[in-house]
Amino acid sequence: MPDLTKTAEETPAQAPVAAAAKPEKARSLGSDAWHDLRRKPIFVISALLILLLIVIAVAPGLFTSVDPRAGDLREHFHTPPNYSHFFEGDWFGYDGQGRSIYARVIYGARASVVVGICVTVGTTILGGIFGMLAGYFGGWIDTIISRVTDIFFGIPLLLGSLVILNAFTSRTIWSVVFALITLGWTQMTRVMRGSVITVKQADFVTAAKALGAGTGRIMFKHILPNAIAPVIVVATISLGGYIALEATLSFLGIGLQDPTISWGIDINSAQKLIRTAPFALFFPAGMLSITVLAFIMLGDAVRDALDPKLR
Amino acid sequence: MGRFVARRLLQMIPVFLGTTALIFFMVHLLPGDPLAALWGDKAPDPVQLAALRHQQHFDEPLIQQYLDYMGGLFTGDFGKALDGRPVLDKITEALPVTVQLALLAFGFEIVLGIGIGLFAGLRRGKVFDKSALVFTLLLISIPVPVLGFLFQTIFGINLKWVKPTVQDSTDITQLVLPAIVLGSLSLAYVARLTRTSIAENIKADYVRTAVAKGLPRRRVIGTHLLRNSLIPVVTFLGTDLGALMGGAIVTEGIFNVQGVGHALYQAINMKEGATVSGFVAFLVIVYLAAGLIVDLLYAVLDPRIRYA
């Protein structure tokens, strides 16, 4: 009996491989995608960049020994960069308060990476659960979840976050994460619901039911692995978007606040001196763009690998 | 068609009620006190705080406040700013500028986005297609504040083609650069959506039939291919027009355009909670209405939706 269930589970995953008719041994969709991804230069580049960013976010002390909050107005007020001083405090110059821009760019990675990852994980879990319930049970559960989703979907992410964050007197990374998850889960719910409805009609689900599998087992062992691919794709692509959104909110002065170090805050404080000290704007803005670019490239590569239709 | 419009309007009602209620509760039930926030880190003066609460009707029962708020929305009353002026006055003062800016950005992204997407989709895998993909990827990756300053520095300060900031917001020629910045992110999405859709549909049977019956290429692409491929693009554009008006907040801030976004930006900086929520309520209504209008256009493009 267990053998039968196992076959039922693996059949759809093997289908694209069988269609490709390769003489090698059969691979699951996951390992097939991984096999594809490793050969893509875009994936390798973006994955390495993201890995580097995560290392910077976890241990910024490895990259600079300068305190990003220490300002020396007397010596360094808007001192231009000294490009030959690699990894030193004055490599990217000093900002308006005499703080090392290089150190601030390094320490600013943490806020972006934490917000991006937490919001993506949070919206994926929340949207995944709601989407699974709505798609699997249908009926009134689906009606309620879909209508609530419609309501939240009616509020643009940026505007809604303004209202939520406006209510916090002092804002930390977690208030930004909270605001973005509260408004961001709807897209994931819709993707998951659509995907579950398609998979639910597959023969292997009927087979599992006929074999007497319980609701929980069908949902998590049979439907989830086969419905998760579009969710992973949307999650990876939106991660970059959430990082850009955090920077935009911080730039507007309603996201993160000092003493938290964020590229958005630094872009905001550098904008006043865009003519005299463009470098103070350039480095945080450049790092932010590279980070968002890395995540979006990763999302593109993952989508190409997981979506057999595009092959 | 009439039935479709009626049903779509009826569907709007619960979404409208729910969304506005959600904004109301976000303003009133979240832990922070927007009025106490006016004092910053200092402890608020109880007498002044009570007076402000009374002025903003925060001392009434929540249900009464909600009914007042809903009544206000239907009669066009979006609350009062702290200086005593109705928020609606501030909105109507700034609205024409933002509408101009958003329409300019909208036109820009439609013309250029569909154009790039069409040519890239028709020449899939060729040089133009590949460079269009790289170009749109860059546009998506550069956050709006960065792009704004980049364009301001290049075109305003270095090349001196335009003034770095807008001097007169009613002069539409000065709004061109801010509109390009505002529309660029959506331009990338429109181009990518059109490209994928064209590349998919070009293999469809109806295109082959059209070619086989000897229609000129212009007609095959314009009438058959493009009309069918634009359906997902129109869906995106529907949510986008509203989003542009809200998204103008960053662009208007950078380029000093005296529109709705600029007023909202100032209200945030002055920590005027009531003004912020009034503006947001208004913009959400615009967003929903824009979605509705484009949804109706959608039915014109695709008869299957009309008769379903």
Structure letter (DSSP) for residue A25: P
Q: Confirm whether pTM is higher than 0.95.
A: no
Residues B30 and B179 in one domain: no
Boundary of a domain, candidates B44, B73, B102? B73
Residues B139 and B6 in one domain: no
Residues B217 and B153 in one domain: yes
Q: Tell me the residue type at B141.
A: S
Boundary of a domain, candidates B24, B43, B73? B73
pLDDT at A311: 44
- Tell me the average pLDDT across A137-166: 86
Cα dihedral A263, A265, A268, A272 sign: negative
Closest CA relative to residue A239, chosen from A293, A301, A197: A293
Structural domain count, chain B? 2
In-domain check, residue B289: no
The reply to whether B27 touches chain A by the CB within 8 Å rule is yes
With bands split at pLDDT 50, 70 and 90, how would you rate the model's confidence at A10?
A: very low
Contacts of B150 in chain A (CB under 8 A): 285
Domain holding B123: CATH number?
A: 1.10.3720.10
pLDDT at B307: 58
Residues B192 and B260 in one domain: yes
Residues B246 and B108 in one domain: yes
pLDDT at B308: 52
> Which CATH superfamily groups domain A48-64+110-263+290-310?
MetI-like (1.10.3720.10)
Low-confidence ranges of chain B (pLDDT < 50): none
Q: Which B positions 251-280 lie with beta carbon below 8 A of chain A?
A: 253-254, 264-265, 268-269, 271, 273, 276-277, 280
Residues B251 and B187 in one domain: yes
Q: What's the start-to-end Cα distance of chain B, in Å? A: 10
Residues B162 and B256 in one domain: yes
In-domain check, residue B43: yes
CA dist., res. A143 & res. A45, Å (int): 43
Contacts of B189 in chain A (CB under 8 A): none
pLDDT at B4: 76
In-domain check, residue B146: yes
Lowest mean pLDDT among A117-121, A154-158, A288-292: A154-158
Residues B58 and B112 in one domain: no
With bands split at pLDDT 50, 70 and 90, how would you rate the model's confidence at A21?
A: very low
pLDDT at A77: 61
pLDDT at A156 over 70: yes
CA dist., res. B212 & res. A162, Å (int): 55
Whether A147 sits inside 8 A of B14 (CB atoms) is yes
How many Cα atoms within 13 Å fall on the side-chain side of residue B229? 31
CA dist., res. B211 & res. B178, Å (int): 42
| Domain coordinates in residue numbering, chain A | 48-64+110-263+290-310
In-domain check, residue B280: no
In-domain check, residue B175: yes
CA dist., res. B127 & res. B123, Å (int): 8
Residues B34 and B112 in one domain: no
Whether B284 sits inside 8 A of A168 (CB atoms) is no
Cα dihedral B103, B105, B111, B117 sign: negative
- Tell me the average pLDDT across A249-278: 84
pLDDT at A20: 45
Contacts of A162 in chain B (CB under 8 A): 264, 268, 276, 280
Residues B64 and B19 in one domain: yes
pLDDT at A75: 60
Using DSSP, state whether B86 is helix, strand or coil: strand
Boundary of a domain, candidates B73, B108, B123? B73
Residue A310: exposure state from Cβ atoms within 10 A (0-12, 13-18, ≥19):
exposed
- Which domain covers residue B125, as residue numbers? 92-271
Backbone angles phi, psi at B86, to 5 degrees: -65, 140
In-domain check, residue B81: no
Whether A155 sits inside 8 A of B33 (CB atoms) is no
Average pLDDT over chain A, rounded to an integer: 81
Q: Complex ipTM, two decimals?
A: 0.81
Cα dihedral B90, B91, B96, B101 sign: positive
Contacts of B31 in chain A (CB under 8 A): 167-168
Closest CA relative to residue A135, chosen from A230, A233, A57: A230
Residues B110 and B16 in one domain: no
In-domain check, residue B304: no
Residues B38 and B145 in one domain: no
